[in-house]
Amino acid sequence: MPSRASPPGRRRSFDPLEPFADKTLLKELVDALGSFRWKLYGPIPLRFHRGRPTKYEFDLNLGVVHVTEQDFKGLSDIFHRLNEAWGTRMTFCIYPSKDRAREMILNVRGSPRAPSEID
């Protein structure tokens, strides 16, 4: 756990294994991702993929994008900063959509309790 004080709005009952149940953390992360400047595109409008966030994970449809090394570094910096501040272990990955050819999905996992999907 980080030694600094809790971020504003963080409840004492905060569970780092259910991070997106905390609306303050979820908003902070979604706002950071929404204002992220992709190298080739600038900010990309956020669209949730496969429904709203659960308390464990969510997916964002990025559309048709090319992701650069600089983009991965910038995303990693966002997750590092928020994980440090909140005492979480959130991660991300990017994968191609099965539903829409060429579109890319940003999967955000906040917990090892998130379901695994392999097909």
What residues does each domain of the chain span?
A: 34-109
Q: How far apart are CA 2 and CA 6, in angstroms?
A: 9
- The DSSP letter of residue 3 is S
Q: What is the dihedral of CA 86, 78, 62, 60, to 10 degrees?
A: 0
pLDDT of amino acid 118: 53
pLDDT of amino acid 49: 92
pLDDT per residue of the chain (119 residues) written in tens, 0 to 9? 343 335 555 556 899 999 999 999 999 999 999 999 999 999 999 999 988 999 999 999 999 999 999 999 999 999 999 999 999 999 999 999 998 889 999 999 998 888 776 54
Q: Tokens for 61, please give them.
A: 């449809």
Q: Tokens for 54, please give them.
A: 């659960």
pLDDT of amino acid 28: 97
pLDDT of amino acid 116: 76
Stated pTM of the model: 0.84
